[in-house]
């Protein structure tokens, strides 16, 4: 009788253990889940503001930059400047990509090849949120910066995208707006805890009807 109770308790214990292990995902499984945020927008150049149709741009964020990555980049920027920061971005895992959609618009020079993003952060401002994206290549010209304007890239070594979204009454996000600086210098705003534009040689590309999914 005692042996039977022992077997029963042991069987019950094993069932509980199996159920717990099945219900709780492993750390490796949780870490392997990739973030995928799709952002679409209409891109309007200040030089072609009268165009009837805008270029379409696709952005995919596959991960957010970590606090450690941000802090290292801030230290590099403040100690050695924008060019050192641009070089350091090559050592960081990509955070996604951006490209001009070949199905929409496609103005002069708009190359649909994907440009790798090297930095992506979401800034929570309560009922507003900002998304900041940085890469050391020209967005819209593929991975080779010389395909655009090598001289300009040497002086203004970064491309910078700033998107802003406002919350709606249901807790979702309305269509946002943004600006894309193709070739820029940046600085770190310690009061806001984010990178911001410091200088840029040409007018930005304006982003309208930005969707965030």
Closest of 39, 41, 38 to residue 54, by C-alpha: 41
Q: How confident is the model at residue 35 (pLDDT cuts 50, 70, 90)?
A: confident
Residues 79 and 10 reside in one and the same domain: no
Q: How confident is the model at residue 10 (pLDDT cuts 50, 70, 90)?
A: very low
User: Mean pLDDT across the stretch 69-79?
Assistant: 97
Measured CA to CA, the distance from residue 182 to residue 205 in angstroms comes to 8
Global pTM reads 0.77
Residues 77 and 117 reside in one and the same domain: yes
More confident residue, 155 or 53: 155
Residues 79 and 152 reside in one and the same domain: yes
User: Mean pLDDT across the stretch 72-76?
Assistant: 97
- For residue 65, pLDDT over 50 is answered with yes
Least trusted range by pLDDT, from 100-109, 151-160, 185-194: 100-109
Measured CA to CA, the distance from residue 208 to residue 129 in angstroms comes to 16
- Which stretches of the chain are DSSP H helices? 2-23, 27-32, 67-80, 82-88, 150-155
Cα distance from N-terminal residue to C-terminal residue, the chain: 61
The pLDDT tens digits of the residues spanning 135-161 come to 988 786 544 444 444 444 567 889 999
pLDDT for the residue 147: 44
Residues 102 and 6 reside in one and the same domain: no
User: In which domain, by residue range, is 155 found?
Assistant: 34-212
User: Mean pLDDT across the stretch 168-195?
Assistant: 91
pLDDT for the residue 139: 80
Residues 77 and 142 reside in one and the same domain: yes
- For residue 23, pLDDT over 50 is answered with no
pLDDT for the residue 212: 86
Residues 26 and 51 reside in one and the same domain: no
Q: Across all residues in the chain, what is the average pLDDT? A: 77
Radius of gyration of the chain (CA): 23
Residues 55 and 142 reside in one and the same domain: yes
The pLDDT tens digits of the residues spanning 196-209 come to 999 998 888 899 99
Residues 11 and 42 reside in one and the same domain: no
User: Mean pLDDT across the stretch 64-71?
Assistant: 96
pLDDT for the residue 151: 42
- For residue 118, pLDDT over 60 is answered with yes
User: Mean pLDDT across the stretch 113-117?
Assistant: 86
Residues 140 and 193 reside in one and the same domain: yes
Domains in the chain, number? 2
Measured CA to CA, the distance from residue 76 to residue 192 in angstroms comes to 18
Residues 84 and 3 reside in one and the same domain: no
Residues 19 and 105 reside in one and the same domain: no
Residues 85 and 134 reside in one and the same domain: yes
- For residue 80, pLDDT over 90 is answered with yes
Q: How confident is the model at residue 100 (pLDDT cuts 50, 70, 90)?
A: confident
């Amino acid at each position: 009788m005692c042996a039977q109770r022992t077997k029963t308790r042991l069987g019950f214990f094993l069932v509980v253990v199996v159920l717990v292990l099945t219900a709780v995902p492993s750390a490796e499984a949780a870490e392997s889940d990739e973030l995928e945020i799709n952002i679409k927008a209409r891109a309007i150049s200040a030089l072609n503001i009268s165009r009837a149709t805008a270029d379409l741009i696709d952005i995919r964020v596959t991960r957010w930059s970590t606090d450690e990555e941000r802090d290292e980049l801030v230290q590099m920027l403040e100690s050695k400047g924008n060019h050192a920061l641009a070089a350091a971005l090559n050592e960081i895992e990509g955070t996604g990509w951006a490209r001009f959609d070949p199905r929409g618009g496609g103005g002069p020079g708009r190359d649909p090849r994907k440009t790798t993003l090297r930095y992506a952060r979401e800034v929570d401002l309560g009922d507003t949120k900002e998304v900041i994206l940085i890469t050391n290549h020209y967005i819209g010209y593929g991975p080779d910066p010389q395909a655009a304007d090598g001289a300009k890239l040497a002086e203004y070594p970064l491309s910078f995208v700033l998107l802003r979204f406002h919350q709606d009454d249901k807790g979702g996000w309305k269509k946002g707006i943004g600006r894309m600086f193709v070739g820029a210098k940046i600085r770190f705003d310690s009061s806001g805890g984010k990178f911001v534009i410091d200088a840029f040689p040409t007018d930005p590309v304006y982003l309208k009807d930005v969707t965030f999914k």
